[in-house]
Amino acid sequence: MKKLSILGSTGSIGVSTLEVVAAHRDKFEVVALTGGTNLALLSRQIKEFSPLVASVITEESAAILRKMVRGSKTEILHGVPGMIAAASAAETDMVVAAIVGAAGLVPTVAAIRAGKDVALANKETLVTAGRLIMDLVKERGVNLYPVDSEHSAVFQSLQGHRSDDVKRIILTASGGPFSQYPLEKLAYVSIDDALNHPNWSMGRKITIDSATMMNKGLEVIEASWLFDMPVDRISVVIHPQSIIHSMVEYVDGCVMAQMGVPDMKAPIAYALTYPERVATGVCGLDLSSIGSLTFFDPDYERFPALRLAYRAARDGESMPAVMNAANEVAVDAFLSGKARFMDIASIIGKTMDAHRPHDLGTIEDVLQADRWGRAKARELLGN
């Protein structure tokens, strides 16, 4: 029986994780949950899975949640201390890190420091603090399993092969809703247009990141740390059908690809049960009905955020943390109707231009770089 703490249980990854858990109650027990503002969903999860601990963002939300689950034995906490408590609970074997954005960094670090294996869906943890995280993983002797479909695909395609034989990693991207959109109209797309992803059902922030392809840029940086691969050996290819989730090319010219229908329960289950596999309810792949799979290179004029991510990766040090912070601010501004779609990449680029990369020696240094990036992005938006 593997005991789980699920950080971000009310988000899309958290919900899918609990679906996997519900299908395999003989294999998993839920020790802790953390959620955001969806208290109704979190209260239902508490009643169904009876965790020892649940945490929300604010004290006010915690008070409301306690009333909603009155009679439950679950301890209700709040704030960063609550997230840390959930992530480092003594009873936990594995932490599913599914909080969106840089907010997931601190509790994920707490989980690793507590000696917990981590199923990582929060790509910003490695984007902002990659070297520190990988050093800490090695120091604590824990396992870090990728949950993102692309990184899970790479992880699976590496099984049984020597890392020295890898030539490059190829991350696939759907291209989002704008891969064929007229360039001259991108400045005027609506929030609903940008949230209309053709293949995946995700949270609002990640869906916008997919539309700008910043999500793929973050994945390039994450893959570099996860698989110890220079970013110049990590390629991105647009694959509109989202059937091949990513590939690994070897020095002999052979390419290993992992395929499946777009459903996050499959990579989640693999991370939770590795090296075993369990039934997930995900439909099998019917290639004859699909007919054909297509691929093409990303257009950097259409997706300038992807170029910025490669730039941040090459600059290194504090630049990825600053880039990610600026992106979170700019995406929030777009979703709030305070910026246009193409302003997102513009704000990120200008924030990066104003920054001088410096070494990150501690997690507090990472948080400081994040705060600087947010402040600069907000200043640019105000102007």
DSSP string, 27-77: TEEEEEEE-SS-HHHHHHHHHHH--SEEEESSHHHHHHHHHHTTT--PEEE
Residue 351 lies in a domain: no
In a domain, 331, yes or no: no
User: 362 in a domain, yes or no?
Assistant: no
pLDDT band at 200 (very low <50, low <70, confident <90, very high): low
Same domain, 98 and 115: yes
Q: How confident is the model at residue 334 (pLDDT cuts 50, 70, 90)?
A: very high
Name the domain count of the chain: 2
Question: b/e string for 184-221 if b means 16 or more Cβ within 10 A?
Answer: eebeebeeeebbebebbebbebbbbbbbbbbbbbbbbb
CA distance 246 to 269: 17
pLDDT band at 184 (very low <50, low <70, confident <90, very high): confident
Query: In this structure, what token pair is assigned to residue 112?
Result: 């690793």
pLDDT at 196: 83
Q: Mean pLDDT throughout 258-271?
A: 96
- Would 372 be classed as within a structural domain? no
> Using an 8 Å Cβ cutoff, are 202 and 12 in contact?
yes
Whether residue 117 sits in one domain with residue 175: no
Last residue of a domain, one of 317, 335, 355: 317
Last residue of a domain, one of 146, 161, 188: 146
CATH label of the domain that carries residue 132: 3.40.50.720
**Side chain identity, residue 9:** S
Same domain, 118 and 239: no
Domain that holds residue 294: 151-317
218-242 pLDDT, tens digit per residue, is: 999 999 999 999 999 999 999 999 9
pTM to 2 decimal places: 0.94
Q: Are residues 48 and 140 in the same domain?
A: yes
206 and 112 share a domain? no
Taking residues 154-165, report their average pLDDT: 96
**CA 294 to chain CA centroid, nearest Å:** 25
Cβ partners under 8 Å of residue 221, min gap 6: 123, 126, 127, 130, 231, 309, 312, 313, 320
**Same structural domain for residues 89 and 62?**
yes
For residue 195, the one-letter residue type is L
248 close to 151: Cβ distance less than 8 angstroms: no
Residues 30 and 160 in one domain: no
Banded model confidence at residue 337, pLDDT cuts 50, 70, 90:
very high
Residues 77 and 226 in one domain: no
Q: Are residues 127 and 164 in the same domain?
A: no
The residue out of 146, 164, 192 marking a domain boundary is 146
Task: Average the pLDDT over 346-358 and give the result.
Answer: 98
Is the same domain home to 121 and 174?
Answer: no
Grade residue 326 by pLDDT with cuts at 50, 70 and 90: very high
| Both tokens assigned to 16 | 């899918």
Confidence grade of residue 201 (pLDDT, cut at 50, 70, 90): low
Shared-domain flag, residues 220 and 283: yes
- Give a yes or no: residue 210 inside a domain: yes
CA distance 186 to 188: 5
Instruction: Determine, yes or no, domain membership for 208.
Output: yes
Cβ-Cβ contacts under 8 Å for 328 (sequence gap 6 or more):
101, 102, 205, 374
Mean pLDDT of the chain: 95
Place of tokens 């420091």: 113
Position 118 scores a pLDDT of: 98
Residues 196 and 251 in one domain: yes
Over residues 35-64, the mean pLDDT reads 96
Residue 25 lies in a domain: yes
Q: Is the pLDDT of residue 5 over 70?
A: yes
* Segment 30-46, tens digit of pLDDT: 999 999 999 999 999 99
Q: Is residue 85 part of a domain?
A: yes
